[in-house]
């Protein structure tokens, strides 16, 4: 009966809204997101296949990610059978929070459907306080750059120990900030996630999209291996090997 009730609700609902308990005050704002995007509200952060906008609502500064409208087949699949990318992002962010891995605080998500067909979805977080992304390490001078790389190694180990591997673990999806207590890492773009056992080989391969000099790979390997009880030299070898297969790699720089 519960399954039938859930299916019936999903079948006829036009907008499905889910909020974190502490953000119930943004319900009206969330419901109005399709109209706000159509009107071009907020500050454009990124526009490509998906679109990111920074907006202010009351005391909250939020970032809204509007996912692109899928093709006709996937509009039916997402409308009835599969969770939307926004929902997956929200759920994965909550999972990260539970294990102490940084990510911008998840506010909620909104799914929009037209009949049985999925239309658009929106994922909302608080704006991150982290001013830099991993890629900035190659274009700016940071006195604490080694600390950033080591922090990435530790955070990645925590994720992998819990069986989570970000499927787009690239240079633009790792944010960082220096704080009084050390370097804070926040991970974004969470809709694509592998969940399952992650051994040393899988774990090192998950880092292959991150640019790194040999020195940076050494730091990553030391922290990652120490946290997971692996051999440092083997981790270093695997990280270098997997990274060397990436297109556009420049040895010694990326």
Last residue of a domain, one of 126, 159, 190: 126
Q: What is the pLDDT of residue 118?
A: 73
The answer to the question of residue 248 being in a domain is no
Residues 50, 141, single domain; the answer is no
Is the same domain home to 122 and 167? no
Last residue of some domain: 70, 95, 126?
Answer: 126
What's residue 68's pLDDT?
81
Tokens of 116: 């049985």
Answer yes or no: do 63 and 141 share one domain.
no
- How do residues 220-244 score in pLDDT, each as one tens digit? 999 999 999 999 999 999 999 999 9
Q: Counting beta carbons within 10 angstroms of the beta carbon of residue 34, is it exposed (0 to 12), middle (13 to 18) or buried (19 or more)?
A: middle
The average confidence (pLDDT) of the chain is: 90
Looking at the structure, do residues 120 and 152 belong to the same domain, yes or no?
Answer: no
Domain count, the chain: 2
Q: Could you tell me the CATH number of the domain that includes residue 11? A: 3.30.200
* 214-228 vs 232-243: helix crossing angle, rounded to 10: 130
Q: Write phi, then psi, for 122 (nearest 5 degrees).
A: -130, 130
Q: Residue 21: inside a domain, yes or no?
A: yes
3-state secondary structure the chain: CHHHHHHHHHHHCCEEEEECHHHHHHHHHHHCHHHHHHCCCCEEEEECCCEEEEEEECCEEEEEEEECCCCHHHHHHHHHHCCCHHHHHHHHHHHHHHCCCCCCCEEEEEEEEECCEEEEEEEEEECCCCCEEHHHHHCCCCCCHHHHHHHHHHHHHHHHHCCEEECCCCCCCEEEEEECCEEEEEECCCCCEEECCCCHHHHHHCCCCCCCCHHHHHHHHHHHHHHHCCCHHHHHHHHHHHHCCCCCCCCCCC
Q: How far apart are CA 31 and CA 112, in angstroms?
A: 10
* Nearest of 122, 108, 129 to residue 26 by alpha carbon: 108
Domain of 170: which CATH number? 1.10.510.10
Distance from C-alpha of 118 to C-alpha of 71, rounded to nearest angstrom: 10
- pLDDT per residue as tens digits for the range 172-226: 999 999 999 999 999 999 999 999 999 999 999 999 999 999 999 999 999 999 9
Q: Is residue 252 part of a domain?
A: no
Least confident of 87-91, 221-225, 243-247: 243-247
Domain stop point among 126, 146, 178:
126
Mean pLDDT of 244-254: 66
Least confident of 3-12, 21-30, 118-127: 3-12
Read off the pLDDT band of 252 (50, 70, 90). low
| Inter-residue contact 110 to 31 (CB < 8 Å) | yes
The answer to whether residue 9 scores a pLDDT higher than 50 is no
Angle (deg, nearest 10), helices 214-228 and 145-161: 40
156 and 84 part of one domain = no
Please give the residue range of the domain that contains residue 67. 2-126
The predicted model gives 136-164 an average pLDDT of 98
């Amino acid at each position: 009966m519960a399954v039938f009730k859930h299916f019936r609700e999903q079948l006829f609902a036009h907008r499905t809204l889910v909020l974190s308990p502490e953000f119930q005050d943004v319900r009206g704002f969330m419901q109005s997101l399709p109209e706000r995007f159509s009107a071009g509200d907020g500050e454009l952060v990124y526009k490509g296949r998906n679109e990111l906008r920074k907006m202010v609502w009351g005391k909250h500064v939020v970032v809204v990610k509007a996912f692109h409208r899928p093709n006709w087949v996937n509009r039916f699949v997402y409308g009835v059978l599969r969770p939307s990318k926004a929902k997956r992002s929200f759920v994965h962010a909550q999972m990260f929070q539970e294990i102490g891995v940084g990510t911008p605080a998840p506010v909620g998500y909104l799914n929009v459907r037209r009949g049985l067909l999925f239309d658009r979805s929106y994922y909302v977080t608080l704006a991150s306080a982290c001013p830099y992304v991993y890629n900035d390490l190659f274009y700016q001078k940071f006195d604490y750059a080694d600390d950033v790389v080591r922090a990435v190694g530790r955070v990645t180990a925590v994720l992998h120990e819990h069986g989570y591997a970000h499927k787009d673990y690239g240079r633009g999806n790792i944010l960082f900030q220096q704080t009084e207590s050390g370097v804070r890492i926040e991970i974004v773009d969470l809709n694509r996630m592998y969940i399952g056992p992650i051994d040393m080989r899988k774990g090192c391969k998950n880092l292959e999209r991150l640019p790194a000099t040999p020195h940076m790979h050494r730091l990553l390997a030391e922290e990652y291996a120490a946290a997971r009880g692996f051999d440092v030299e083997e981790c270093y070898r695997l990280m270098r090997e997997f990274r060397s297969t990436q297109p556009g790699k420049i040895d010694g720089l990326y």
